[in-house]
Amino acid sequence: MSLPKDFLWGFATASYQIEGSVDVDGRGASIWDTFSAIPGKIADGSSGAVACDSYKRTDEDISLLKSLGANSYRFSIAWSRIIPLGGRNDPINQAGIDHYVKFVDDLLEAGIQPFITLFHWDLPDGLDKRYGGLLNREEFPLDFEHYARVLFKAIPKCQHWITFNEPWCSSILGYNTGYFAPGHTSDRSKSAVGDSAREPWTVGHNILIAHGLAVKAYREDFKPTQGGEIGITLNGDATLPWDPEDPADVEACDRKIEFAISWFADPIYFGHYPESMRKQLGDRLPTFTPEEVALIKGSNDFYGMNHYTANYIKHKKTPPPDDDFLGNLETLFYNKAGDCIGPETQSFWLRPHAQGFRDLLNWLSKRYGYPKIYVTENGTSLKDENDMPLEQIVNDDFRVKYFDDYVNALAKASAEDGVNVQAYLAWSLLDNYEWAEGFQTRFGVTYVDYVNNQKRYPKKSAKSLKPLFDSLIKKD
C-alpha cells in the first residue's frame, strides 16, 4: 500500500469532446464549432455537434462512473453555455447554469467528487470575433474572471476548481502551428492570420493573468465560505537525453520541460519566466509588471498535471528560427544507441514510457517545492483501435498495461520519492471527439458507438482501475 488513504481517483473528460447538443438550451458557438466547420481542419471532417451526446446523458455517465468504482470525475464547463456571447456585459444563460448545478448535485449524491475545469479550449466564438479572444490583454482576463465568478457563485458545492486546461495547447497549437482553434499561424497556406513568432507568447501571458484574477476572486470572495481549492492544469512530456554522454543533450532535456511546463509554472511559483525562455525569445516574451507578479505568484492551491508520453531530446547547434517553441532541440523516439522509448500508439506524439512519469513527478516536485499534485489526465490511444471489431476493442490489454505501469510508477514516486500526489484522473471516461483528429483516435476506457446512438461499452481497462487502486491505496 503506497498511496494515501484519502487518495482520489477517477476519470476525466472535456465539454466540447463529449457533450454534443451545441444548439440546445441557449448555448452559443465556441471557436471549436467555427474551426471544425472549416474544410480540412479536422482529419475526418467531423465536429463536436453530437460527440458522445453526454449533455443529454448525464445520468448514464454517472451510472457508468459508479459501476467502475470511481470516487472522482473531472469535467469542463462550456463557457458559451453559461454566457453565450462570453463577455462580462453579455446576458447569462440560466439554463446552462442549471444543467451543471444539477450535474454536480447528482455526482455528489453518487459519492463522486467533481473536479471542474473552467476552460478546456472552447472559448466563446463571440469573444474571438469581438476583440481577438485570447490575444486581448485588456478584455479577455476580465471576461474570464467574470465567467469564473458566475460559476463559483452558482456551484458552491464544488471543492476542486481548475482555471485552465493545458494553456500550452491553447497558445502553441492555437497560435503557432494553427493545428487547433482558432488556427492562427504564420503559414499562409493554412491561415490568413497569425504571427507564430509572437502571438503564442502573448496568449500564454494573458492566460496567466486571467488565471490569477480568477484565483484571487475565488480566494477572496468564495473560499472563506465554500472551503474549496483552485489551481491550473499544465501539460508536459518526460525527457531523456538522446546522448547521455553529451552535456548539451542533458541540458536540453531541462530546457524542453521549461518551454512546455515552466513557461506557466515558474511565474506561478517564482514570479517570472524561465531564464532559458527569456534568453531565446528576447522581447517577444512579455514581461510581468509588479502588479501582475503579485497577482500570479502563489496562485496555485495544487499542481494539476497532465502527462502522457516521453521523448529523447537532442540539442540543436544552429540558431532557432523565430517560430521555434521547443527550445531549439529535437524530440525523438529513438536515442543514439538505437533504443526505442516505447511502442507505437494511434497518436503520432504518444509512446508509453512509465519511468518517465515517475521522473517528471520528481522533477516538478523538486523544482516547485513538493506541491500537492493532482494528475488530472493520463492515458493512451491504441494503434488502429478505431478499425478493430468491437470484441477486440473492449479487450484493450495495451491500455490496461499502460494504466498499470503508469499508476505503479506514480505509487513508487509517492511511497519512495516523497512526491505529494493525491489524485489520479484517467483520460478518458469515454471515447470522444479528439480535436483535430476527429473521431479517428480513441482514448476512452469506454467504447462509444458513434454510428448506433452513441451506445457505451466499457472496455477491460475501465474495469481494471478499481482493483489496481484498491491494491495501492492505504486502508484505515
Cα 176 to Cα 132, 186, 190, 194, 199, distances in angstroms: 15, 7, 11, 8, 7
DSSP string covering 87-101: STTSPP-HHHHHHHH
Please confirm, yes or no, whether 377 is among the known catalytic residues.
yes
Spatial distance between the Cα atoms of 384 and 401, rounded to a whole number of angstroms? 17
Catalytic residue among 292, 377, 385, 434: 377
Q: Distance from first CA to last CA of the chain, Å, rounded?
A: 11
213, 210, 222: which is closest to 170 by C-alpha? 210
385, 420, 382, 374: which is closest to 402 by C-alpha? 382
Burial class of 103 by CB neighbour count within 10 A (0 to 12, 13 to 18, 19+): buried
Residue 436 near residue 424, CB atoms below 8 Å: no
Residue 121 near residue 169, CB atoms below 8 Å: yes
Number of C-beta neighbours around residue 422 at 10 A: 16
* Phi, psi (deg, nearest 5) at residue 37: -85, -10
Please confirm, yes or no, whether 229 is among the known catalytic residues.
no
H-run or E-run covering 388: none
Catalytic residue among 19, 139, 145, 166: 166
Cα radius of gyration rounded to whole Å, the chain: 21
Residue 86 near residue 77, CB atoms below 8 Å: no
DSSP string covering 291-335: HHHHHHTT--SSEEEE---EEEEEE--SPPPTT--SSSEEEESB-
Cα 201 to Cα 127, 141, 233, 434, distances in angstroms: 19, 15, 18, 25
Burial class of 89 by CB neighbour count within 10 A (0 to 12, 13 to 18, 19+): exposed
372, 352, 351, 31: which is closest to 169 by C-alpha? 31
Catalytic residues: 166, 377
